[in-house]
Chain A
Amino acid sequence: MDEPIQGIIDCIVELNLKGVESAVNHAISAGATPNEIIRKGISQAAKEVGERYEKSVYFLPELVMAGEVIKAVMRSLEPHMAGQAETAPKRVFVIGTVEGDIHDIGKNLVIIFLRGHGYQVHDLGVDVPAERYVEAVKETKALALGLSALLTTTLPEMKNVIQGLRAAGLRDRVKVLVGGAPVDESFARSIGADAYCKDASQVTSILSDLLGEGG
């Protein structure tokens, strides 16, 4: 990894919020562009944070904090982004906890990983009715949609959302990922989802496969 960007990666992985501004300034002065920082730096850092989480080195507070550091990096990059052409279209991900369910820890962790990998996330919150997902996918032109549930009772809602997408003619335009404690691979298949996400940290690699972006 380029040395100027490495400072930003270190800040995210080591949860060093205070060091963000100088690391970003250093990287920019050394010639790194904001797009490079996002594409290479933040993505790499999010991957390392995910690995630490999977190895039980990091836990929920560390993921939340890594998300904060990533937000700070994005804020510090903003002044440097004016006038810079987008090198890639924004990858929009819509996510929410299905209607009747209010659990959002897993969903929020998924969001941290998605933002870390440069996705623009539209978080619909909890207890989201099927039609709201459909509207959001339509409005945002999302590439992917994440449905989360913790309660067995609310699992049928996931199917309702997918049916809603079909009825609106949107199903082929959006990849649907499902996750949460009562969900598994066979359930995901049975309702016609594109993928089951067992753990928050898997979401970006699953998406890369689904969207044909390679590793």
Chain B
Amino acid sequence: MASTERRYIETLERFTATINFEEPDRVPTWDTLNNEELWRRFGTSSDPLKAAVETHRAVGIDVTRFYWWYSGFDWFRSKIIDFSRFMGLRPDEWEMKTKAGTSWINKRPFADVEGLREHLPQPPDEDAVAAWYIPFFQKTIRAFAEKGLVLVGGLEAPLTDAYTYAGIDLLGKAIYLAPELVTQLLDTFEKWCRIRAQLWAENDLGPAFFVGEDIAFGSGLMFSPNFLKAQVFPRIARIMQPLKKRGVKVIFHSDGALHSIIDYLVKELRIDGLNPIEPAAGMDVAKIKDEYGERLILVGNIDVSRLLPSANPQDVEQAVRNTVAAAAPGGGFCLASSSEIHNAIPVENALIMYRAAHKYGAYPLPRLP
């Protein structure tokens, strides 16, 4: 067996044991890299996918979630490409702006509810998505596997897609002024998500799937629990259905403070895992482990707002140590940053974080002094 193949099997076993609440050789490291310096230093290939693989591999990451690599590393632009490829969005009507690797929509072809009504995205065609996405999924998974890394499937869920598309202010207005339009928009994006989740599950592409739905700020929920329970969570449940049926673990992602809704997410929506457990939003990983640790996979928790950008290496190492001690006993924990390794994080701090995870995350876990 080639050493890279052996490495992949080891990583896959490590991750699979973890998400099944067993203690593998060590805590897996999981992350999203969006740091130009890291890419410059480690991603030498001119092919964005290969550069991504090289970079993740070099820094010591075991698992990463699915990206859109067909527009460099620009996930936002890639999303717009997807909307135009499968849902009839006309890119010439939209104005995008890119700066320092980040893109955003500068101008939409509509500015009010009536304009949105005239520019609703078209529901995607299942066969067209399958024809494009299956080879793309396979190619990407293979590229990571060849270097011993596990790729977790992923998508941004209907509400996030809806407010990306309409703009959050307009979506907020439409909830009151044209609720039928919001339903239509969410129906379309639900279908878009359901197709890809189903493709992942039915083609047996990997043991876990990431569902990103940013529903909270640092201070609490962005949308009312009633709205989420009526319009959003039932859609996520339907997206999760084919994955759950095949035993694929669903890792739910939302930034922010989820205290008021976490019980619902775990017990009613029945998510399998939670990311990124943002300490800056008061998400306490020890408490969450205590309460849900036997059924909820935890991914994240190393603070990207203050700690990683500005702490000294010793403090980063200590934070990793404390987090591992709180969250890793019994498995069910992947160490990751609390969103992504962004440009303000010094490369050295990122590297120390993963190194510390490898060192202090070795099972059996060491006792804290």
- Which residues in A have some Cβ–Cβ distance to B below 8 Å? 15, 17, 56, 58-65, 68, 100, 102, 105-106, 108, 126-127, 151-153, 181-182, 199
Contact = CB atoms under 8 A, between A and B. Distances in A.
B309 interface: yes
Given A59-B221, A181-B280, A65 B342 contact: no
B220 A61 contact: no
Nearest to B260: A56
Given A61-B172, A65-B176, A182-B305, A127 B224 contact: no
B221 A152 contact: no
B343 A65 contact: no
Given A61-B171, A126-B104, A15 B176 contact: yes
A122 to B, nearest CB: 17
A15 B342 CA distance: 39
B245 interface: no
A148 B280 CA distance: 17
B344 A153 contact: yes
Contacts of B218: 181
A98 to B, nearest CB: 12
Per CB-CB distance, the 7 closest pairs between chain A and chain B, nearest first, are A64-B172, A61-B172, A153-B344, A102-B104, A152-B344, A61-B175, A152-B309
Contacts of A151: 342, 344
B169 interface: yes
A151 B217 CA distance: 14
Interface string B162-185: 000000110111011100000000
B223 A17 contact: no
A65 B221 CA distance: 17
A182 B100 contact: no
Contacts of A65: 172-173, 175-177
B172 A60 contact: yes
Interface in B307-344: 309-310, 342-344
B222 A152 contact: no
Contacts of B100: 100
Contact of B176 (A61, A105, A199): A61
Interface string B76-116: 00000000000000000000010110101000000000000
B45 interface: no
20 contacts: A56-B260, A58-B224, A59-B224, A60-B172, A61-B176, A61-B227, A62-B172, A64-B168, A65-B175, A65-B176, A68-B176, A100-B100, A105-B168, A105-B222, A106-B217, A108-B169, A127-B97, A181-B218, A182-B280, A199-B219
Given A58-B224, A59-B222, A65-B172, 11 more contacts: A56-B221, A59-B227, A60-B222, A64-B172, A65-B176, A68-B176, A152-B304, A152-B310, A152-B342, A182-B280, A199-B219
A62 B177 CA distance: 11
Contact of A152 (B168, B172, B175, B305): B305
Given A65-B173, A105-B168, A182-B306, A153 B97 contact: no
Contacts of A63: 172
Contact of A64 (B169, B220, B227): B169
Nearest to B310: A152
Contact of A68 (B102, B173, B217, B310): B173
B142 to A, nearest CB: 34
A127 B310 CA distance: 23
Contacts of B176: 15, 17, 61, 65, 68
